[in-house]
Amino acid sequence: MEEKVILRPATPDDLEAILALQQTAPGAASWQPADYANAFADAAGLCLLAEDSVRARVAGFLVGRLAADEAEILNLAVAPGYRRQGIGRRLVAEALAVARQRGAEKCWLEVRAANRAARDFYRALGFAETSRRRGYYRDPEDDGVVCLRLLAAGPAGVSLQGEPAP
Ligand SMILES: CC(C)(COP(=O)(O)OP(=O)(O)OC[C@H]1O[C@@H](n2cnc3c(N)ncnc32)[C@H](O)[C@@H]1OP(=O)(O)O)[C@@H](O)C(=O)NCCC(=O)NCCS
């Protein structure tokens, strides 16, 4: 199953499919079309799509941002029928590899405290939970958990085979 899912840059043409996927993933940030338009237009933005090339369906997406030596994952979702197949891991690995190539040394993200699946996912990918922002989220209200992954330089670049953060 996984072999037919390819990663490629997301473009404004993918907006409709990304919004449809977002609807199926309440854990993802509830972005409006303008938020994605800004990300596509941002030179520091990183927009990735996981596409099922056989069924011509969007299986997942990631939106991030790179600034100086820091990267941030801003939104991420994998479609329900494609979860637990390593697609989220591949999206994050690709984002971190690009971030490292562009000089980032660390990657931040924030996740709802109640989103246990995503917290377990990020922990499995070597992110450490560094702090908590009380009442950061609304609708429903929730704490934000700030996560950090250091990006080690090395001959193999960034690897995400479940190893702990360096
Ligand atoms: C979080 C999310 C992106 C994970 O995507 P995914 O493609 O299913 O994840 P992967 O298959 O790459 O999982 C990699 C590892 O993360 C961990 N993991 C993933 N989903 C998990 C879950 N529901 N519960 C516990 N651990 C989980 C596991 O260790 C997994 O490895 P394994 O399957 O070999 O055990 C997906 O569940 C999702 O889209 N959720 C809704 C949107 C969301 O919460 N986004 C995050 C916003 S911050």
Task: Give the model confidence (pLDDT) of 54-78 as tens digits.
Answer: 999 999 999 999 998 999 999 999 9
Q: Whose CA is nearest to atom 28 of ligand 1?
A: 121
Confidence of residue 159 (pLDDT cuts 50, 70, 90): low
State the Cα–Cα distance between residues 82 and 105, nearest whole angstrom.
30
Mutate to test the pocket of ligand 1, among 84, 109, 149, 160 (most ligand atoms within 8 A of CB): 84
3-state SS, residue 78:
strand
Q: Output the pTM of the full model.
A: 0.93
Work out the pLDDT band at 149, boundaries 50, 70, 90: very high
Residues with CB under 6 A from ligand 1: 25, 27-28, 76-78, 83-89, 111, 115, 117-118, 120-121, 124
Task: Give CA–CA dist 70/19, Å, rounded.
Answer: 27
List the CATH number of the domain containing 75: 3.40.630.30
Range of the domain at 73: 2-106
pLDDT (tens digit, 9 = 90+) per residue, 8-50?
A: 999 999 999 999 999 999 999 999 999 999 999 999 999 999 9
Dist CA 123 CA 3 (whole Å): 24
Question: Considering the domain boundaries, does residue 163 fall inside one?
Answer: no
CB 98 within 8 A of CB 62: no
The tally of domains found in the chain comes to 1
Do 137 and 144 form a contact (C-beta atoms < 8 A)? Answer: yes
